[in-house]
Amino acid sequence: MRHIFWAGDSTVACNKFNTYPQTGIAQAFDRYTKEDVVIVNHAVNGRSTKSFIDESRLSAIYNDITEGDYLFIQFGHNDEKIKDPTRYTDPHGEFIVNLGKFVNVARNKKAYPVFITSVERRLFDEEGKLKPSEHTEYVKGMKEAGEKFNVPVVDLFTMSRSFLEKCGDEESRKYYMNLKEGEAKWAPEGLTDNSHLKYEGAMLYAGMIAKGLVDLGDHYESLIADKVILDGSMNIETNG
């Protein structure tokens, strides 16, 4: 069996019934993988690269990851928390240094690291245009880290932002936890927002990551059960 270890935050983490209908991207990703691929999800709500490492969560991955496995590294949302010294990292400084620590864990165990940029938030202005992103510098930082450490980058940020721009304010609601009246009764208090995803959103963005792995080719593509195609309207299809 091949294992994908996933390090990240609440946009990736697994959810139980008490946070329904919130769904993390890694929670949906096994719908796209081959039968011999197992997802080992270490993502936890609210974590940044700094707090994930400080809480010894990266050490736990080191203990279990083995040769031929994969480490998917997806952070940014909480590294941006400038008022929280336990989580904040400079996007072109400590953020890159920390990403290097994740890479070292993978490579010391002869596993394959993959960087995945943050999924975009669903934030539109009064004219229905997608607002400038708070993720931009962290996306740049992750790409810098990709070049520095020779790690492939799946740019989910760009794919998700492009999708939101084309989808628009109202239509994009069905993918995020910004629920309409009547749906909100299912959402736990504090989880009706524009960052976390419903099942539909998790499936959508997991498909984009799968497509990104196919684009990388080689052994990355071999993880995916079907080649994922994103057509001009950003609909996901599979081509066996």
Q: Which residues are catalytic?
A: 10, 189, 196
CA–CA distance, 122 with 168 (Å, rounded to integer): 9
CA–CA distance, 30 with 37 (Å, rounded to integer): 8
> Rounded to the nearest 5°, which phi and psi values hold at 204?
-60, -50
Q: Token digits for 218?
A: 């080689």
CA distances from 123 to 90, 150, 155 (A): 23, 33, 19
CA–CA distance, 51 with 87 (Å, rounded to integer): 5
Give burial (CB, 10 Å; 0-12/13-18/19+) of 2. Answer: middle
- Token look-up 């935050």 returns 9
Nearest to 48 by CA among 79, 4, 27, 18: 79
CA–CA distance, 165 with 178 (Å, rounded to integer): 17
Give burial (CB, 10 Å; 0-12/13-18/19+) of 143. Answer: middle
Q: Token digits for 18?
A: 């008490």
- Token look-up 């998790």 returns 202
The pairing of strands 112-116 and 153-154 is parallel
